[in-house]
A and B are shown apart, each in its own frame.
Chain A
Amino acid sequence: MVIHPDLGSQLVNLCSALLLLTCFAIIAQRRLSACVDLFALQSVFLAVTAALVAFLTGAHHIYIAAALTVVIKVIILPRILKAVIERLNVKRELVLNINIPSSLLICGALVILAFYITQPIISLGFLLTQDSLAIALSIVLIGFFIMIARKKAVTQVIGFLVIENGLFLGATAAAYGMPLIVELGVFFDILVAGLIIGVYTHRLQDTFDSVDTSKLTGLKE
């Protein structure tokens, strides 16, 4: 079966847009476990995008990356995060540095900024996935913003993982994926980072009776 290149490009763009949409959903969400679910959903979209690119370009190693995305980001990491939330009993509402309406406005601005920044690069490109680059950058910036705007350690993990999703999308979009060995390494890193941050959250809870990272200011002299 052969898909028309224009149609393929449209499909990739659609999936990327869905990824971006889940980002906004995470920003707008008040409940912690829902955030984790939304992250899992975003990872599903990511895997679909990757598989689509693999299919359209015939670069088979991207299939492996897509499969790993499903295993690690859709199944394992959300479970770890849920377990942490259960154990530490932090199901309650998120604590925000910046309230939700203004967060959404700022994220909108970030998306515009990302398109503005990537515009000269995109006009040079010739790949069918080139438009996704702007979306990838937006996701990275929003992930970063989540880390800044939300106080609890678990939300910061989610922000970190969202950044990683953005980077993965960017790599797929700009260069049809990284070499397989690099991707494997990145997945391993993500897994380890998830575990470490889980432990770190635990210690934070033990020390401060809270997972609010703004309590860390107490460590300053």
Chain B
Amino acid sequence: MFFDLSWIVHWGLLTVVGLLGIGIFLPSVFYRNAHVQNFVAHGAAMAGSVAGIALGIAGLLAPTAATFSVSSNLPLLTFQIRVDPLSSFFVLIISLSGLAVSQFAVGYVREFEARYSIGTMGGLYNAFLLSMILVVLADNGFFFLIVWEIMSLVSYFLVVTEHEKAETRYAGFFYLIMTHVGTAFIIVAWLVFYQQAGSFSFEIFRHPPAPIPEGFRTLIFATALIGFGTKAGIIPLHVWLPYAHPAAPSHISALMSGVMIKTAIYGLVRVYFDFLGGAFPWWWGFLILTIGAVSALLGVMYALMEHDLKSLLAYHSVENIGIILMGIGAGMIFQSYGLPHLAALGLLAGLYHTINHAMFKGLLFMGAGSLVHATHTRDMEEYGGLIRKMPWTAAFFLIGAVSISALPPSNGFVSEWLTFQSLFLSFQIPDLLLKIILPISAAMLALTGVLAMACFAKAFGISFLAMPRSAHAREAKEVPLTMRIGMGLLAGFCLALGFAPMVVVPLLDRVTAGFTGVTIAEKIVAGGGFALAPGLGIGFASISTPVLAVLLAILIPAALLASAALGGRLRKRYTKTWGCGINLKPRMEYTATGFTQPIKQVFDMIYRPTVKLETEMLEESRYFAKRMRFETHIEPVFQKYLYDPVVKVLQKLADRVRVIQSGSLHVYLAYIFVTLLVLLLWVR
């Protein structure tokens, strides 16, 4: 049996690399036929993803980590790969999303066929998947940086697919700068390791010949947090997300938002629990928890104010990364206080939310892509009534919305509930401050959940219910089958992750056990495998999503039946609701702006909204308005007070440097000449 697993790992790895490698180059061969390119590229990606799923599951179940290594001519660089439970788990996430998104892309990319080179797009798409898989598998710092950089660059090229739009170019440029700043910090973290341990091999990072001094450990902690945090989109490093994710084609947004930012979570867990494992100072976990709580809350609050569906989803990524970090941060705090079981629980909750978010965010972005495909706009105010035109899309989007709002019995509920539990169990920490802070962060998480639900009530209600608000929405048609299957796959994964936590938890336990040294699966899974009770010995709370689902499935029809039985005969009357005798028109509908107005008022300290109301009166009378114009904006606080000053200083410096860039060939030649002479005199 175990022999079989290592066989699967070995061949799974080769197949993934091989198939995705084929997917990179083969589409360009069929340059005459965009259709064929589309099928070849996304077919290869799907096949590669299936192999990736096998690799991920086998790697999770395998008793020992498998390593593969190819040496290179370059010093310090070894193409070293390690398949351990953590990397396998992330390979699994990438491959599950990759499978569904590639299926979706077959239909979605159709409309790009006439305008762009599908060979290039498809090749880059495969390169993107492959680079993400290699990022989580890399076992050498140098190799890691190479694939990390490839991932960033390839995703940049995919973001600027529609490069003829100025806003897309701006989004891409912004992303490129932010991701490189992040990479710079990761390089610093790796260099500190190298300087302390003398090698770029992760194995040496893990077990340095001499213990790394506390100051350098803190330096690594901070640089890794900034470096990976930029990619993950923690506040205040999140500013690129709401630009880049909407600008990319939707299947790319689904991968970027669902999966790529997760590689940063992988990096953080790898560095903190694996490399720096053991006892952290308590404030590390505290910092991560705080950043998580702030990101979660602010992320969802900004999401609420967005009417561009894809920007809204991008801000929700900030929120969910925050929730994931809250779990991880709680785990780190428990680790500091020597509570390994609770540490495992916190980390497990974070990882569970990681896979959940990948599934439902991928699903929602594909749903948004379907809406864009059908209506050719991203503005929610132009949707409306789409549930009748696009019932399948509506159903899948609803599943995603329920999951992201963490309503029971969805998968989002399970992981957020586990996060709550680990935060509540903080009463076991001997420190009074943390005993108070952790429940407060739980309260912030609760507020986040409520706002997320309000946000998706808005997103779903405004987009799919009521009457079409524009010609675009009136002429919308259901998307092709290929796209529906893609969404259906992820919707299915979402439901499975929600109904079967007792299968998922033991798998995740294999990941966390490696870092905390204890297994908690038997303790958590209770009730004959149908319930979760994360009290860890203290009878605290328990829950069973399958039972909840069954209860809901029984109770809702039962309630309907009971009301029908008790309430007498159902009479149908066909009259207009709320019509007051007037014909209802789309202009009377609740708008997205109107829906969020109360929340904007409540939190105006954070949003700092500016409202402009211009009224033009009739000339005959001051009491009748001819035209009214209403404008409202919320202040982009982080960009205005954090980024703009930095950009200004940089531009000033650049202007200074520009003086030497005269544009004259002779002057440039003279620069080289003088440099050469100086160097020659130097070496003499």
Contact = CB atoms under 8 A, between A and B. Distances in A.
B345 to A, nearest CB: 58
B670 A148 contact: yes
A151 B666 contact: yes
B666 A113 contact: no
Interface stretch (B206-214, B487-495, B537-545, B673-681): B673-681
A218 B662 CA distance: 10
Contacts of A97: 666
A130 B664 CA distance: 38
B681 A144 contact: no
A148 B669 CA distance: 6
B663 interface: yes
A147 to B, nearest CB: 5
A144 B664 contact: no
A120 interface: yes
Nearest to B671: A148
A117 B680 contact: yes
Given A113-B677, A144-B673, A145-B673, A213 B666 contact: yes
Interface residues of B, number: 15
Most chain A CB neighbours (cut-off 10 Å) among B669, B677, B681: B669
Contacts of B676: 144
Contacts of A116: 684
B684 A219 contact: no
B663 A217 contact: yes
Nearest to B680: A117
Contacts of B670: 148
Given A144-B669, A145-B673, A148-B669, A216 B663 contact: yes
A220 interface: yes
Contacts of A220: 661-663
B669 A147 contact: yes
A214 B684 contact: no
Nearest to A110: B677
A97 B665 CA distance: 12
Contact of A213 (B662, B665, B673, B677): B665
Nearest to A145: B673
Contacts of A149: 666
Interface in A201-221: 213-214, 216-220
A216 B661 CA distance: 13
A214 B673 contact: no
A219 B663 contact: yes
Contacts of A113: 677, 680-681
Contacts of B666: 97, 147-149, 151, 213-214
Interface in A135-152: 141, 144-145, 147-149, 151
B641 to A, nearest CB: 30
A144 B673 CA distance: 7
A214 B669 CA distance: 12
Interface string B35-70: 000000000000000000000000000000000000
Interface in A53-82: none
Nearest to A121: B684
A220 B662 CA distance: 8
Q: Is the interface of A mostly helix, strand, loop or mixed?
A: helix
Contacts of B662: 217, 220
A117 B680 CA distance: 7
A186 B669 CA distance: 22
Q: Is the interface of B mostly helix, strand, loop or mixed?
A: helix
B634 to A, nearest CB: 35
Interface in A120-177: 120, 141, 144-145, 147-149, 151, 156
A219 B684 CA distance: 39
Interface string B643-662: 00000000000000000011
Contacts of A214: 664-666
A219 B670 CA distance: 19
A203 B666 CA distance: 18
Interface in A12-53: none
A185 B669 CA distance: 25
B230 to A, nearest CB: 30
A147 B666 CA distance: 7
Nearest to B665: A213
A216 B664 CA distance: 6
A217 B667 CA distance: 10
Given A214-B664, A214-B665, A216-B664, A148 B673 contact: yes
Nearest to B662: A217
Nearest to A119: B684
Contacts of B669: 144, 147-148
B543 to A, nearest CB: 63
Contacts of A120: 684
Nearest to B682: A117
A214 to B, nearest CB: 6
A89 B618 CA distance: 74
Contacts of B664: 214, 216-217
A213 B669 CA distance: 12
A135 to B, nearest CB: 15
Nearest to A120: B684
Contacts of B663: 216-220
A159 to B, nearest CB: 9
Contacts of B661: 220
Nearest to B668: A148
B673 A117 contact: no
Nearest to A151: B666
A127 B491 CA distance: 78
A56 B506 CA distance: 81
Contact of A216 (B665, B672, B673, B677): B665
Nearest to B661: A220
B509 to A, nearest CB: 59
Nearest to A214: B664
A97 B664 CA distance: 12
Contacts of B677: 113, 141
Nearest to B683: A117
A47 to B, nearest CB: 27
A151 B666 CA distance: 8
A147 B207 CA distance: 56
A117 B665 contact: no
B672 to A, nearest CB: 8
Contacts of A218: 663
A220 B665 CA distance: 11
A213 B664 CA distance: 8
Nearest to A220: B663
Contacts of B673: 141, 144-145, 148
Contacts of B672: 144
Contacts of A217: 662-664
Contacts of B684: 116-117, 120
A120 B684 CA distance: 7
A154 to B, nearest CB: 14
B42 to A, nearest CB: 41
A201 to B, nearest CB: 13
A51 B268 CA distance: 65
Contacts of A144: 669, 672-673, 676
A40 to B, nearest CB: 24
A219 B662 CA distance: 10
A151 B663 CA distance: 14
A217 B673 CA distance: 19
A139 B145 CA distance: 43
A213 B662 CA distance: 13
Nearest to A219: B663
24 contacts: A113-B677, A116-B684, A117-B681, A117-B684, A120-B684, A141-B673, A141-B677, A144-B673, A144-B676, A147-B666, A147-B669, A148-B666, A148-B670, A156-B665, A213-B666, A214-B665, A214-B666, A216-B663, A216-B664, A216-B665, A217-B664, A219-B663, A220-B661, A220-B662
Given A113-B681, A141-B673, 11 more contacts: A113-B677, A113-B680, A117-B680, A144-B673, A148-B670, A149-B666, A156-B665, A216-B663, A217-B664, A219-B663, A220-B663
The 10 closest A-B pairs by CB, nearest first: A220-B663, A217-B663, A213-B665, A148-B669, A117-B680, A148-B670, A144-B673, A217-B664, A147-B669, A148-B666
